[in-house]
Amino acid sequence: MERLVQSRQARYDRTGRARDEIRYEKKAGKAIEPMIYLDYNASTPMDPAVREAMLPYLGEHFGNPTSSHGVGVPLRSAIDSARGQVASLLGASAGEIFFSSGGTESNNHVVKGVAFALAEKGKHIVTSSVEHPAIKNPCKFLEKLGYEISYVGVDSNGRIDPSEVAGEIRPTTILISIMHANNEVGTIQDIPEISAIAREAGVLLHTDAAQSCGKIETRVDKLGVDFLTIAGHKFYGPQGIGALYIKKGVKLDPLHHGAGHQSGIRAGTEPVAMIVGLGKAAELAEKDSDHSGVAGLRDRLYAGLCDGLGDDVVLLGHPTDRLPNTLCVGFRDRIGGEVMAKCPDVLASTGAACHSGKAKRSATLAAMDIPKAVAFGAVRLSIGRFTNEVEIDEAVGKLVTAAKGAPVHGAS
Ligand code: PLP
């Protein structure tokens, strides 16, 4: 049976910090074939420094952080310092950070918490057609309860025109929720401009920064938002932990009801080790703020694909206003899953679901109106802190061969 193993080699990054290089390998019998992990937008490997920071809280430091005795006190101070680390990354104050189980929970909390808190003011929310299901599905849930949702569209680069957001605002609008960067194509939205519109209209603004946090700057003071979502496993922290920034003085209902943890905003005993890990990931992200190296590797990957495939590879997403680690491409007249099946050692996500031999464009690519001949062949290649040039060059060779060898479909 195939087994994923991680091998590590000590290495120094641009900031001079020693770290492990993580390579994923497939162990099939005795032969070990290297795997090239190009799926950082799905989940990043945990940074070894994050794991180190967490370890004491999985062993010697046990107990409940709300206990006022000797076991609880160090746990509480570990949580406080992690809250400070996250706040520092986001340009917020510590009291504005609420830990959650991740991006899905933070997004649900904002959408439902604002909807319930402001139901008397109105029942209308503005969002976009390219949001993650963790925004779209809570909105659909609210529609069943009588709320109205407006979905603004995007252009062929995946960009929202802020004036379209303005055009959707009504007297009953209580929330605007627009993602900072898209998970599939990496397009970055003009949140400061949307913030100016929201301020003018007196409407609360949320941005889902699950994909942008740690990849570009996500300071709430510069973005001008009332709420911001982050998820630990998207920037080298643990899975199952995230946070919601709530601007001081802004009220929303709790998502679930329980004891008074986190000022009654998010009930539940805090998972100390995970919170410590999130804090460490935030500290590393703040130090590692130069993403030009990752962007260079991403561009090398794209250039290699263009050299090998010419017009048969199409860039999807904004050419410049895009996450530095994200390269979504469409292999023309191919099915993304069929291309990736021909290079199983390259790990990436496809942009089209294929059921019973029939491909379907992802909601994002459909909203961008990407022709099916290109969208069916979409593959999201996302890299990060541990990706190196050798892997990029190997991936180029494997992807070019796979795309050339994959069945040609005259999709229309
Ligand atoms: N929002 C965006 C933009 C995402 O990409 C994801 C995960 O892929 C989520 C929210 C959900 O985050 P989590 O996996 O932490 O629940």
Give the pair of three-digit tokens for residue 15. 């900031």
Atom of ligand 1 nearest to the CA of 182: 3
- Tell me, what's the pLDDT at 29? 55
**Residue 6, CA distances (Å) to 2, 25, 30 in order:** 13, 6, 15
Domain 3-37+290-405 and domain 50-287 have a common topology? no
Hey, whose CA ends up nearest to atom 14 of ligand 1? 103
Nearest to 348 by CA among 7, 128, 24, 20: 24
> What average pLDDT does this structure show over 123-152?
98
Average pLDDT estimate for 248-253: 96
CA of 113 to the centre of ligand 1 (A): 18
- Is-contact 110 244, C-beta < 8 A? yes
Domain boundary assignment for the chain: 3-37+290-405, 50-287
Index of the ligand 1 atom closest to the CA of residue 179: 3
Residues 222, 226, 232, CA angle at the centre, nearest 5°?
Answer: 80
Q: Which amino acid is at 65?
A: P
What is the pLDDT at residue 15? 38
- Asked if residue 134 lies in contact with residue 103, where contact means CB atoms within 8 angstroms, the answer is yes
Residue 12 predicted with pLDDT over 60: no
Measured between alpha carbons, how far is residue 337 from residues 89, 214, 229, 347 in Å? Answer: 37, 29, 30, 11
Q: In whole angstroms, give the CA distance from residue 270 to residue 87.
A: 17
Residue whose token pair is 């942009």 = 351
Distance 111 CA to ligand 1 centre (A): 15
Flag whether pLDDT at 332 surpasses 70. Answer: yes
Average pLDDT in the chain? 92
* Res 410: pLDDT: 73
User: How confident is the model at residue 5, as a pLDDT?
Assistant: 41
| CA–CA distance, 244 with 222 (Å, rounded to integer) | 17
Residue 10 pLDDT greater than 90, yes or no: no
Residue 24 has pLDDT above 60, yes or no: no
Own/partner pairs, 55-63, CB within 8 angstroms, 24+ separation: 57/272, 57/273, 57/276, 58/273, 61/272
Please name the helix (run of DSSP H) or strand (run of DSSP E) that holds residue 381, with its range, or none. strand 378-382
d(C-alpha 47, C-alpha 60), whole Å = 21
Active-site residue, 354 included = yes
Ligand 1, residues 111, 136, 234: which to mutate, most atoms within 8 A of Cβ? Answer: 234
Q: Is the CB of 103 under 6 A from ligand 1?
A: yes
Minimum CA distance residue for ligand 1 atom 8: 42
Confidence check: pLDDT of 13 > 50: no
pLDDT in tens, 206-244: 999 999 999 999 999 999 999 999 999 999 999 999 999
Distance CA 400, CA 366 (A): 25
Q: Give the separation between CA 205 and CA 147, rounded to whole angstroms.
A: 17
Is the CB of residue 102 below 6 angstroms from any atom belonging to ligand 1?
yes
Whether residue 179 has its Cβ less than 6 Å from ligand 1: yes
Judge whether residue 168 has pLDDT over 80: yes
Which tens digit of pLDDT belongs to each residue from 181-199? Answer: 999 999 999 999 999 999 9
Report pLDDT for 149: 98
| Percent of residues, the chain, with pLDDT higher than 70 | 90
C-beta contacts of 259-266 below 8 A and 24+ residues apart: 259/66, 261/66, 262/98, 262/99, 263/98, 265/98, 266/98, 266/99, 266/100, 266/109
Percent of the chain with pLDDT over 90: 87
Are 112 and 138 a contacting pair, CB within 8 Å? yes
Q: How far is the CA of 245 from the centre of ligand 1 (A)?
A: 15
CA of 70 to the centre of ligand 1 (A): 37
Residue closest by Cα to atom 4 of ligand 1: 210
Which numeric CATH code is attached to 50-287?
Answer: 3.40.640.10
**Predicted model pTM:** 0.93
Token pair in block for residue 129 = 């057609």
CATH of 3-37+290-405, one of 3.90.1150.10, 3.90.650.10, 3.90.226.10, 3.40.640.10: 3.90.1150.10
Atom index in ligand 1 nearest the CA of residue 232 equals 15
**Are 386 and 22 a contacting pair, CB within 8 Å?**
yes
Q: What's the 180 CA to ligand 1 centre distance in angstroms?
A: 12
Lowest mean pLDDT, pick from 59-73, 307-321, 378-392: 59-73
Q: Identify the bridge partners of residue 6 per DSSP, sorted by sequence position.
A: 24
Q: Is 186 left (phi over 0), alpha (psi -120 to 50) or beta?
A: left
d(CA 85, CA 160): 31
Ligand 1 contact, 180 CB (< 6 A): no
B/e letters for 59-89, b = 16+ CB within 10 Å, e = fewer, are: eebeeebeeeeeeeebbbebbeebbbbbbbb
Band of pLDDT at residue 360, cut at 50, 70 and 90: confident
**Dihedral in degrees, nearest 10, Cα atoms 99, 100, 103, 105:** -150
Q: What pairing do the DSSP bridges indicate for beta strands 148-152 and 124-128?
A: parallel
The arithmetic mean of pLDDT across residues 92-112, rounded, is: 98
C-alpha 110 – ligand 1 centre gap (Å): 14
Q: What's the N-to-C CA distance of the chain in angstroms?
A: 39
Dihedral of the alpha carbons of 261, 262, 264, 270, in degrees to the nearest 10: -40
Range name among 10-24, 252-266, 336-350 with the lowest pLDDT average: 10-24
